[in-house]
Amino acid sequence: MKLEETLKYCGKQVCVTCTDGEEYRGVYDWYQSDAESLDEPNAIGIERGGIITEIPVAEVASIAAI
């Protein structure tokens, strides 16, 4: 998946399914692009219960609003 495909969900409740089948539910809280940090991969942050999980965009199989 490309980072640009995820941006419409930023700030919303989402369910992210990773390429390994793992699912994360929470608020799409932030994203990091190559333009911000050349040595880090594109990533998104999902917040749930005060804990943020960072997920590399290359590992995102799908994302959907819930």
* Tokens 């999980």, residue located: 53
Q: Where are the domains of the chain?
A: 3-65
Report the pLDDT value the prediction gives residue 26, as an integer from 0 to 100.
99
Reported confidence tier of residue 34, pLDDT bands at 50, 70, 90:
confident
Distance from C-alpha of 66 to C-alpha of 58, rounded to nearest angstrom: 22
13: tokens are: 């409740």
Name the average pLDDT for the chain. Answer: 94
Distance from C-alpha of 46 to C-alpha of 25, rounded to nearest angstrom: 7
Q: CATH number of the domain at 3-65, out of 3.30.1360.30, 3.40.605.10, 2.30.30.100, 2.60.40.1930? A: 2.30.30.100
| Signed CA dihedral, 13, 16, 22, 27: sign only | negative
Model pTM score: 0.89
Range 39-66 average pLDDT = 95
